[in-house]
Amino acid sequence: MGTVKVLSRSLGRHCGKRSEPYSSQLFDFCKFTQPLIPENSHFHHWQYHSRRTLILQSTSQSVKLNRLSIPDTGIVEVKLDRPEAKNAIGRDMLRGLRESLESIHEDASARVVMICSSLPKVFCAGADLKERKTMNPSEVQFFVNSLRSTISFLEALHIPTIAVIEGAALGGGLEMALSCDLRICGEDAVLGLPETGLAIIPGAGGTQRLPRLVGKSVAKELIFTGRKINGRDALSMGLVNHCVPAGEAHSKALEIARDINQKGPIAVRMAKRAINEGLEIGMESALELEEECYEQLLNTKDRLEGLAAFAEKRKPVYTGQ
């Protein structure tokens, strides 16, 4: 299946009333990726044959896709791995992110995604400014639009996503974390959108997602000044869900991922849809959306399994059916 069809199906299933803005963003994403990933490329061969293995490799050397094994089957890790550049986002890493997210979108067994770093004290330092310096204005625009569309695709994934932040999450790195459903950080995390210091603005969703999380006034201060904050400050303003001792963010995120993974997978997906789409519309329409999502669960095998397990005082075994 081509990239356009993959993303079109994502829109039809998961974006609902938000499909118009996402449609525009993801259509651009297709435009950016198609010249880079022809139908007969190695990527398309990899996409459909290697996902049976435990460790999933992308064509990028900067991103590794890891599917956890029993008892954590269903949890998938997207690991940023570019130590020489502090996980700065360049063309290769962006390609790896795109391929990893497309693979997860097509993987019916995936239930929770953790976005994390292979480096101990860095999540993502933002855009690769050394690479950016070699680009002309049209190439910069092309790259930023592609990054924005990739991050929007991460946000539109139908399963829960968790950003695991140790160390620096700056610029595009923080924007990536903002698009996730949950954010877990260590106390020594450093978060910020420093773009105004370079005479630009956040271009991958930061000006829109940050105020939706922390409020307009706080977001304006952080973006206008480019000020960096630590993990505790991020927790106090609602930017992250949990702030734990340095080095323990992955353990906390995995604990939450395991908890989610034990719940009914269709129910979790419907809950995500109801929350995300409902916040963008009026209350009356949002309640109708909730009803629609609830009705889709009534005839599932998982719902009957949940009732049976409750009656039999045992742990339910959900299959996603």
Residues forming the active site:
127, 172, 175, 195
Amino acid at 164: V
Amino acid at 215: G
- Residue with structure tokens 């950003």? 163
Instruction: Identify whether the C-beta of residue 169 lies closer than 8 Å to the C-beta of residue 177.
Output: yes
Amino acid at 27: F
Instruction: Identify whether the C-beta of residue 98 lies closer than 8 Å to the C-beta of residue 143.
Output: no
Quick one: which of 128, 105, 100 has its CA closest to 115?
100
Dihedral pair phi/psi, residue 259, rounded to 5°: -65, -45
H/E segment holding residue 36: none
Quick one: which of 32, 30, 59, 19 has its CA closest to 144?
32
* Helices 137-156 & 91-106 angle (0-180, nearest 10): 30
